[in-house]
Chains A and B, each alone.
Chain A
Amino acid sequence: LSEKNEPEWLSEEVKTGTTILAIEFDGGVVLGSDSRVSAGASVVNRVMNKLSQLHDKIYCALSGSAADAQTIAEVVNYQLDVHSMEIGEDPQVRSAATLVRNISYKYKEELSAHLIVAGWDRRKGGQVYATLNGLLTRQPFAVGGSGSSYVYGFVDAEYRKGMSKEECQKFVVSTLSLAMNRDGSSGGVAYLVTIDEHCTEEKVILGNDLPTFYDQ
């Protein structure tokens, strides 16, 4: 079972070349992701849910190296559990984002993953934080992953302040669909998570149910 001269993708790191995005609306957030995990040119998992739960009302979207992203999410999940027990109430989204940012910044040379943290808490409602390369910034919406490059134009043009929950979900699904059609490293199904004060809803949209655009 030697490793020399084996096909490249066996020793290639497994990456979630991906499209992820999160958008905030009045009273909550909507997160979306595709489901493709690739190792080189081979797809190793076509149904991976990249929206990982950090706490009851805080989720994060994974992109970059699968191992790094999964590990960061699991470590922060643990740290948040301890933190919420210490303070005796549900943690703030900013706390979760800070924990992710601390790991991303401290190990920025060793890790290669970008997590978008989004959720709802009592004090500030729905919030989306980007933690790319160890920064921490709150944004009305954030996109990430290899597929995001193809949809910057779309999101910049189509985003409007004060969208409702349904409009946000439609926005996320359309963005994902466009990115998945253009980016080779994104594909599969679309996962959607809607978090607001009352509930946390997880939804899967299969490939053939995604909105179609010109030339499809």
Chain B
Amino acid sequence: LPTGLSQWFPALEVLDVSGTGLTEMGTELLSLPCLHTLLAKNNRLGGPGSLPKGLGQAPLARSLRVLNLSGNRFSEVPPALLQLRGLRSLSLGGNRLQGIPPDIQELHSLEFLYLGGNFITAIPPELAKLPSLRYLVLCDNKIQSIPPQLAQLHSLRSLSLHNNLLTYLPREILNLVHLDELSLRGNPLVVRFVRDLTYNPPSLQELAGRTVKTRNIPYTPSDLPESLVRYLSLASNCPNPKCGGVYFDSCVRQIKFVDFCGKYRLPLMHYLCSPECSSPFSSASQSSTSQSESDSEDEASVAAHRMQKVLLG
């Protein structure tokens, strides 16, 4: 950036330096107190000096609303960027990102986040701590699974997941009630019932814990060692409405299909307390696959009905 920029244009609000071959943006940025939009796409940014030191203390940290760094060479989200507390819109599309830092949650005003076209393999659950996030783009990456916590993004209107490596989605995704759009094409979503998920038999501690919980055996903190009191408080309820059981660490991961009125079949991952729970109607028969496949009286289908307009392509 040219020296003297902030002296010549102290009231600068929008700066577009896209396509100029920049390799770093220097300290001139720190003296622009009114800058709310910075567009620097298609440059050569990505190295250590890309963003100036002291960004967190500059007026920019509070004034900047929009930052577009798409089409550069960032292999990680620069830590300095996470100090831009006022940021509403961030694009890092078409870079070389391998992951998303958990500290992304520091950008608590973020509404729009574009991370398409990178090499991201996993999503940190901390991403779900962005309360205003409305538009999240993760297409064209290498993502293998979505953390169920993402369902806590109550403001989310649009989620772009196309062209990744997803084989299933967490069941909790149906909780995103404000979601208007969801793109899933180009993922190797399983199309047939998958039954071979490994099941580690429960430990004696787990079996005892389940019994205490399901039979409502009363206990007080003075009855048990603190570690066991804590353990018992971590019981999860089996989502199978016909079961009512609990589990701790040992559970079956099962893929259940949610049928959107015969148009799309989405594989959603459930956690169940035992293999028997996966087929509540059958009496331990092996051929219950077709039963489960066509079972659309699942409570999930109610939420699914809400989402059927949401799917794109």
A in complex with B: no
Q: Which residues in B have some Cβ–Cβ distance to A below 8 Å?
A: none
Q: Which residues in A have some Cβ–Cβ distance to B below 8 Å?
A: none
